Chain A
Amino acid sequence: MTASPAPTPAPAPSADRLAPWAFAAFVEANTHDTAYRPPVVDGPVGPTIVRNGRELVNFASISFLDLERHIPLQRHFAEGARAHGLSTSGSRMTQGICRPHHVLEETIARHTGKERAISFATGLLANIGFVHAMSSAAHFDTGIEVRNRDTVFVVDRDVHWSIWKGLEGLGYGRRVHAFRHNDVADLARVLERRRAPKTVVIAESLYSADGTMGPIVEILDECDRYGAVSMIDDANGFMVYGPEHRPYAREAAAIRERADFVMVSLSKAIGLEGGAIAGPASAVDAFELLSGTSMFTAAIQPPTAYTAERTIDVLAGKPEIVDDYLAHAARLRRQMHEAGTPTLPTESYMLSVPIGKDAAALQMREWFVEDGYLVPVFSYPAVSRNQALLRLFPHAGHTEEQMDGFLRTLLGYRRRLGV
């Protein structure tokens, strides 16, 4: 017996009722054809990616250490699934914390230099949960209460969307203030103007937006001066920076030794998915309830938590994995500078290549795909108009031939477009 094809669904009667939302016009007006029906990816994503059946050299993977192809880690993941199940099957508040999550959180606390860590299904949920926990009021019984609706947040303008989402509704200009990106003098000005007994300063270490490292030491100095609590979103720096011989050792030491809270992501260097907040034990204990994004939603899946702990220990025990990767990224950056297509001035592994005109950048994106490269292009509204840039993640698995090919291709486009 053969299965009959699924019938084509008739237009839903709700289509008319949805008209006031203007979704159809919004989708139709956007000329970027992959915005709404993203290409289908087959197989594991790594230095190359198969999209809609075509293999492209991939400069878009935020999991850049090539760990996903590491057979022992894949085996470890399978072992975690067998030993701890596929799902947590419920909230840690009702059932308890799965062993892999417990061990992972201890491992993250140890590597971030904090007393305790709490994990979340994603980094976004960690950030939203942090803001919520620091700014909410809860009354459970006589004496069992917190009243933190008077918390004031001062954040770098370019912090991740998840922080801004958490701050939504707290009243910009009243409980929420922003300082100019990486501008410590502006931070000091805001703190001076808006002195409050409970102030939380939030900044990132390495900004996804432009690949810069924030002036962490100076930001923490201002926090000390004004008695503000600090939270550093270290999603992009966790397990990459820290050792003395790598760039940004000073910033990483400050995050470890001086920041009150740190947020880490498991989807960057760790190559999995999930996030965590680490900080003083009493606060993190309270976050179990007050974050909301731990108690009221799903957690990291057990085999992921199990593998994340192992990966963190492997990266700490075998520094050559990250050292080799950073050397690989630095080589591409150097080659780009030598070839006259420089990146923004940062020592980070993220390479941002200014292109300028939005139209030229969008044309490049199309050409790159035609020529076999997947290269993320940031144009308006992700960045200001005609400040478009390419934002590349070199991948540990890229061959020299792939990197040379990319560079030759980019130089060719620059000549053709006159940019």
Chain B
Amino acid sequence: MLNETEILSAIAEIVEEVAGVDAAEVTAGKSFTDDLDIDSLLMVEITVRVEDRFEVKIPDDRSAELRTVGDAVAYIADYR
């Protein structure tokens, strides 16, 4: 089972690949929209990749609540 650091690192890799943001920039406290400049379309792509990578399902209403990278890490850690 992955720990939170490993989840964060995998998310950072996905964000870098999808949005072209340097993985080092992707830290727990960052907001996807305000800090990493990821808009709604990119967010959908990232969500799909995260779902596949971690074999989780993120319903639309929950994905809107995942505002920071840390929110996403916590959601996946709890889900698993």
Residues of A within 8 A of B (CB): 157, 171-174, 177-178, 186, 189, 193
Contacts and interface: CB of A to CB of B under 8 A. Distances in A.
A145 B24 CA distance: 48
A150 B67 CA distance: 32
B48 to A, nearest CB: 3
B20 A189 contact: yes
Contacts of B20: 186, 189
For the complex of A and B, the 10 pairs showing the least CB-CB separation, nearest first, are A173-B48, A173-B45, A172-B44, A173-B44, A178-B41, A174-B48, A193-B17, A189-B20, A177-B45, A157-B41
B18 interface: yes
A178 B44 CA distance: 11
A246 to B, nearest CB: 34
Q: Is the interface of A mostly helix, strand, loop or mixed?
A: mixed
Interface string B5-43: 000000000000110100000000000000000000100
A78 to B, nearest CB: 48
Contacts, number: 19
Interface in B23-80: 41, 44-49
A189 B45 CA distance: 14
A203 to B, nearest CB: 16
Contacts of A178: 41
A105 B20 CA distance: 43
19 contacts: A157-B41, A171-B48, A172-B41, A172-B44, A172-B45, A172-B48, A173-B44, A173-B45, A173-B46, A173-B47, A173-B48, A173-B49, A174-B48, A177-B45, A178-B41, A186-B20, A189-B20, A193-B17, A193-B18
A405 to B, nearest CB: 40
Nearest to A177: B45
Given A173-B45, A189-B20, 14 more contacts: A157-B41, A172-B41, A172-B44, A172-B48, A173-B44, A173-B47, A173-B48, A173-B49, A174-B48, A177-B45, A178-B41, A186-B20, A193-B17, A193-B18
B38 to A, nearest CB: 12
Contacts of B41: 157, 172, 178
Nearest to A185: B20
Contacts of A172: 41, 44-45, 48
A231 to B, nearest CB: 20
Which among A157, A172, A186 has the highest number of chain B CB atoms within 10 Å?
A172
A174 B46 CA distance: 11
A177 B41 CA distance: 9
A343 B41 CA distance: 28
A177 B49 CA distance: 12
B72 to A, nearest CB: 15
Contacts of A171: 48
A177 B46 CA distance: 11
A174 B48 CA distance: 7
A186 B21 CA distance: 12
Contacts of A186: 20
Contacts of B47: 173
Which among B20, B45, B47, B49 has the highest number of chain A CB atoms within 10 Å?
B45
A231 B24 CA distance: 37
Nearest to A178: B41
B16 to A, nearest CB: 11
Contacts of B17: 193
B45 to A, nearest CB: 4
Nearest to B43: A173
A367 B47 CA distance: 45
A177 B45 CA distance: 8
A178 B48 CA distance: 14
A189 B20 CA distance: 9
A189 B46 CA distance: 15
